[in-house]
Amino acid sequence: MEQKFIPKSLAASKESGKVTWQTPSNIALVKYWGKKNPQLPENTSISFTLSNCHTTTTLTYGKRKDVKGTYDFKVILDGKEEEDFKPKIETFFKRIERYVPFLREYTFVIDTKNSFPHSSGIASSASGMSAIALCLMSIEKEININLTEEAFYQKASFLARLGSGSACRSVKGDIVVWGAHENIEGSSDLYGIPYVDGVASIFKNYQDTILLIDKGEKQVSSTVGHNLMHGHPFAEQRFLQAQENINKIKDIFANSDVDQFIELVESEALTLHAMMMTSHPYFILMKPNTLEVINKVWTYRKKTGSKLCFTLDAGANVHLLYPEIEKEAVQEFIKSKLAIYCKDKSFIHDCVGSGAKQLKI
Ligand code: PMV
């Protein structure tokens, strides 16, 4: 199957150029946690593509005079050269070189910035890797003008996955599925696809406010986290549960069942953390303020009948999900009652978005 992403001939015919993509972050509803080589998920996951949290990357490329040794690139983050990112991108390049044969033929400058604050604890790897993947695809498109739009985005997602698994869900909007599932046509372990099986309008413009509980570096890298699922005593059961939760969320989306949505999404978040707490070594990534927020959300829901719920990534930050119709009330609640649990009272309002955009700059 991967074979279809290996181009027949892709001689780097262009001398130089520059391309810019703006790519979104995403938040998983049914979580990906556990993988096989090379970056293949143990279960299907599904996510909302976000809108305001995004990465903008400009890739400048020029033909190398003599192609010796390894890749030739530098990374600039927020205007400053960043050596620390190079090993991750080098690994990414090694993984994708089969599919992007012109990689060694150019000198690249990867100039990138995130819309969310650096070290905010929001993972930039999903949006960051999908941005590089899309920029490379734009170069491929210059060389291979017959590439269809569908093939372009599918390969972009395929490449992004090889950078960071969840990055394959950061190409398209507004809901994306990654991982083969018997009840989702076209779903694949190799790339994410837009979920189009009937979604009630309430979920089309769902809101996500990210509470920045802990802004530091991630305590457990996702690579380490995924590896802990190998030999985990509950792993097989968890993977089956995720497949079943995909069936459930299909019905939820189709039937506009927000109460079931809440139950499923919160359970998924807590299960992800439960898997970390029961692995060896074990971790607790929630902070006291994570739990404060969760309890406040539950009380608020009970008192007001609100449909506000939470989900978590592999960290302490909380994503608060709610229908657009509750925007004003919930945002007031966040400002007045939850901001105190955030580092520097900081949070980011976001919502479901439509996917990556190429910028002409
Ligand atoms: O893409 P990775 O390897 O950083 O893994 C991300 C895993 C979670 O964010 C915890 C869940 C998910 O599905 O996004």
How many Å apart are CA 73 and CA 257, to the nearest integer? 48
In this prediction, residue 117 has a pLDDT band, given cuts at 50, 70 and 90, of confident
How many Å apart are CA 114 and CA 136, to the nearest integer? 19
Whether ligand 1 lies within 6 angstroms of the CB of 35 is answered as: no
Mean pLDDT of the chain: 94
Please give the distance of CA 205 from its chain centroid, rounded to a whole number.
Answer: 18
Per-residue pLDDT at 14 exceeds 80: yes
For residue 213, the 8-state DSSP code is S
Q: How far is CA 353 from CA 53, 218, 269, in A?
A: 10, 25, 21
Tell me the one-letter amino acid at 287. K
Whether ligand 1 lies within 6 angstroms of the CB of 164 is answered as: yes
CA of 33 to the centre of ligand 1 (A): 6
**Mutation test residue for ligand 1: of 26, 31, 44, the one with most atoms within 8 Å of CB:** 31
β-pairing, 347-351 with 106-114? unpaired
**Mutation test residue for ligand 1: of 27, 30, 33, the one with most atoms within 8 Å of CB:** 33
Whether ligand 1 lies within 6 angstroms of the CB of 317 is answered as: no
> Sign (positive/negative) of CA torsion 297, 298, 301, 306?
positive
What pLDDT, on the 0 to 100 scale, is given for residue 338?
98
Whether ligand 1 lies within 6 angstroms of the CB of 300 is answered as: no
CATH number, span 2-199: 3.30.230.10
Lowest-pLDDT range, 65-74, 184-193, 195-204, 226-235? 65-74
Whether ligand 1 lies within 6 angstroms of the CB of 45 is answered as: yes
Whether ligand 1 lies within 6 angstroms of the CB of 139 is answered as: no
Beta carbons of 351 and 53 less than 8 angstroms apart: no
What six digits make up the tokens of 312?
């978590």
Beta carbons of 190 and 159 less than 8 angstroms apart: no
Phi, psi of 244 (to 5 degrees): -70, -40
Lowest-pLDDT range, 23-27, 69-73, 273-277, 330-334? 69-73
What pLDDT, on the 0 to 100 scale, is given for residue 119?
64
What pLDDT, on the 0 to 100 scale, is given for residue 336?
98
Beta carbons of 181 and 44 less than 8 angstroms apart: yes
What pLDDT, on the 0 to 100 scale, is given for residue 144?
86
Beta carbons of 166 and 26 less than 8 angstroms apart: yes
Whether ligand 1 lies within 6 angstroms of the CB of 222 is answered as: yes
Sequence spans of domains, the chain = 2-199, 203-351
Omega within 30 of 0 (cis) for the link into 38 = yes
β-pairing, 72-77 with 106-114? parallel
Whether ligand 1 lies within 6 angstroms of the CB of 32 is answered as: yes
Q: How many Cβ atoms sit within 10 Å of the Cβ of residue 156?
A: 30
Count, residues in the chain: 361
Domain 203-351: what homologous superfamily?
GHMP kinase, C-terminal domain (3.30.70.890)
- 55 strand-pairing partners: 23, 114
Residues 321-334: tens digit of each pLDDT: 999 999 999 999 99
**pTM of the prediction?**
0.96
Residues 98-109: tens digit of each pLDDT: 999 999 999 999
Whether ligand 1 lies within 6 angstroms of the CB of 71 is answered as: no
What pLDDT, on the 0 to 100 scale, is given for residue 121?
65
Beta carbons of 33 and 238 less than 8 angstroms apart: yes
Beta carbons of 243 and 43 less than 8 angstroms apart: yes
Q: Is 203-351 the same fold as 2-199?
A: no
Whether ligand 1 lies within 6 angstroms of the CB of 229 is answered as: no
Whether ligand 1 lies within 6 angstroms of the CB of 178 is answered as: no
Please state the atom number of ligand 1 nearest to the C-alpha of residue 35. Answer: 3
Please state the atom number of ligand 1 nearest to the C-alpha of residue 272. Answer: 10
Helix axes 125-143, 149-163, angle to 10 degrees: 140
CA of 36 to the centre of ligand 1 (A): 14
Residue 18: half-sphere exposure toward Cβ, Cα within 13 Å:
8
Residue 104: half-sphere exposure toward Cβ, Cα within 13 Å:
11
Output the DSSP codes for 173-201: -SEEEES--TTSTT--SSSEEE--S---G
CA of 123 to the centre of ligand 1 (A): 9
The SS3 assignment for 49 reads: strand
